[in-house]
């Protein structure tokens, strides 16, 4: 039989793991896009502002910035 303390501890651990996985998943997407943007910048000499716009457009379509969609990036 689990006590309330054990239940709360398990709940906190699960929430921490889920948050960590979500952050890690977003970081992989960001790293991929930074690498692609760097390749674009060195290969085709694309403007920095244009690269940032491409990255932000990509994340908006993925829904990562949905809660901030009222702001203009």
| pLDDT, position 59 | 67
d(CA 55, CA 49): 10
Contact by Cβ (8 Å): 69, 56 = no
Domain segments of the chain: what residues? 25-64
For every one of its 73 residues, what pLDDT tens digit does the chain have, with 9 covering 90 and above? 568 777 778 888 888 877 777 777 777 777 777 777 666 666 666 566 666 777 777 766 665 555 444 444 4
Contact by Cβ (8 Å): 4, 42 = no
d(CA 38, CA 71): 26
Q: Average pLDDT of the chain?
A: 68
d(CA 64, CA 26): 8
């Amino acid at each position: 039989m689990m006590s309330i303390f054990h239940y709360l501890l398990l709940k906190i651990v699960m929430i921490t793991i889920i948050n960590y996985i979500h952050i890690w998943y977003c970081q992989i997407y960001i790293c991929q896009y930074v690498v692609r943007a760097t390749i674009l910048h060195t290969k085709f000499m694309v403007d920095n502002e244009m690269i940032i716009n491409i990255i932000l457009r990509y994340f908006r379509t993925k829904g990562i910035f949905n809660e901030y969609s009222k702001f203009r990036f």
